[in-house]
């Protein structure tokens, strides 16, 4: 944890308390913080700041001199559509995408998504994984997460409305690289006929990314996504795990 995020009810009149077991343990055992020392904290959905430790017990840490004056970092203007991965991978992916600042996450069914994944108890813990990601990335604003269990109706009926500034679908067998896609869009966006584009357009980055689960998308899914404006791209000759592909692609937005 690079900051401790607290719900609004735990903060009042320049005082606050940490009573979540995992957070108390982190402060006392990992950080080794003592009474009188400062902590970086934030209010979930609010501001970031600092506070001093007033007292520590086994179950609660009392804070004083709470000053929440710093706005959280801006979200990436990005929607990630992710084929629901294996449950043990889901936690890490939600944490990573949250820490990176993704604005919207859509978990979708795919041909290679096993039906049992949708019954996983991990789906009931998404808020927990988001909190971990926010504390890692020093952010307070959670991404919006949507579950879409039917691939074709979602793609045909909803996807086109989400494609506001370009869209890609990661596909290792595409003939076009992500680098070429970005370069082409950058050149197009600098045209005198389009002077008022958002800076994201200038750098060629799309506003929507589709990433498959282990094994990727099948040809039918690629065709359906492409029909709705998603350009297939690859990121090199290597076949990557979903986690590696997510971080390799989304890292472009941080550069």
Q: Is residue 255's pLDDT more than 70?
A: yes
Whether the Cβ atoms of residue 204 and residue 245 lie closer than 8 Å to each other: no
Instruction: Assign domain 4-70 to a CATH class.
Output: mainly beta
- What tokens does 209 get? 């990314």
- pLDDT single digits (tens) 90-145: 999 999 999 999 999 999 999 999 999 999 999 999 999 999 999 999 999 999 99
- What tokens does 223 get? 């065709």
| Average pLDDT of the residues in 34-43 | 96
* 3-class DSSP assignment, residue 212: coil
User: What dotted CATH number matches 76-254?
Assistant: 3.40.1280.10
Whether the Cβ atoms of residue 197 and residue 69 lie closer than 8 Å to each other: no
User: What span, in angstroms and rounded, lies between the C-alpha atoms of 95 and 241?
Assistant: 16
Of the candidates 198, 228, 197, the one whose C-alpha atom is nearest the C-alpha of residue 210 is 228
Residues found in the chain = 255
Of the candidates 165, 176, 159, 151, the one whose C-alpha atom is nearest the C-alpha of residue 232 is 176
> Which residue ranges make up each domain of the chain?
4-70, 76-254
For the chain, the C-alpha Rg in angstroms (whole number) is 21
Q: Is residue 201's pLDDT more than 60?
A: no
Half-sphere exposure of residue 94: CA atoms within 13 angstroms, side-chain side: 27
Distances (CA, A) of 246 to 61, 129, 136, 170: 36, 16, 17, 9
Query: Does pTM top 0.75 for this prediction?
Result: yes
User: What span, in angstroms and rounded, lies between the C-alpha atoms of 38 and 51?
Assistant: 6
* 3-class DSSP assignment, residue 244: helix
Q: Is residue 251's pLDDT more than 50?
A: yes
Whether the Cβ atoms of residue 232 and residue 184 lie closer than 8 Å to each other: no
Predicted confidence at residue 190, as pLDDT, reads: 64
pLDDT-derived band at 195, boundaries 50, 70, 90: very low
User: What span, in angstroms and rounded, lies between the C-alpha atoms of 69 and 41?
Assistant: 11
Predicted confidence at residue 192, as pLDDT, reads: 52
* 4-70 against 76-254: fold identical: no
- pLDDT single digits (tens) 78-96: 999 999 999 999 999 999 9
Predicted confidence at residue 196, as pLDDT, reads: 45
């Amino acid at each position: 944890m690079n900051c401790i995020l607290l719900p609004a009810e735990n903060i009042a009149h320049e005082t606050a308390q940490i009573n979540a077991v995992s957070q108390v343990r982190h402060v006392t055992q990992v950080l080794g913080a003592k009474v009188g020392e400062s902590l970086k904290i934030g209010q979930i959905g609010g501001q970031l700041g600092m506070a001093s430790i007033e007292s520590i017990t086994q179950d609660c840490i009392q804070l004083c001199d709470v000053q929440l004056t710093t706005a959280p970092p801006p979200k990436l203007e990005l929607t990630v559509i992710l084929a629901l991965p294996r449950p043990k991978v889901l936690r890490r992916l939600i944490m990573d995408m949250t820490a990176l600042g993704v604005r919207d996450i859509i978990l979708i069914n795919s041909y290679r998504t096993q039906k049992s994944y949708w019954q996983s108890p991990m789906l009931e813990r998404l808020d927990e994984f988001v909190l971990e990601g926010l504390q890692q990335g020093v952010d307070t604003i959670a991404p919006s997460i949507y579950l879409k269990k039917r691939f074709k109706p979602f793609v045909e009926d909803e996807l086109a409305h989400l494609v506001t500034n370009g869209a890609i679908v990661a596909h290792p067998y595409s003939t076009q690289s992500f680098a070429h896609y970005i370069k082409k869009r950058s050149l197009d966006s600098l045209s005198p006929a389009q002077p008022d584009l958002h800076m994201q357009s200038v750098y060629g980055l799309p506003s929507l990314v589709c990433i498959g689960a282990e094994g990727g998308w099948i040809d039918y899914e690629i065709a359906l996504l492409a029909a709705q404006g998603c350009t297939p791209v690859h990121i090199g000759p290597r076949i990557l795990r979903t986690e590696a592909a997510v971080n390799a692609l989304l890292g472009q937005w941080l550069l």
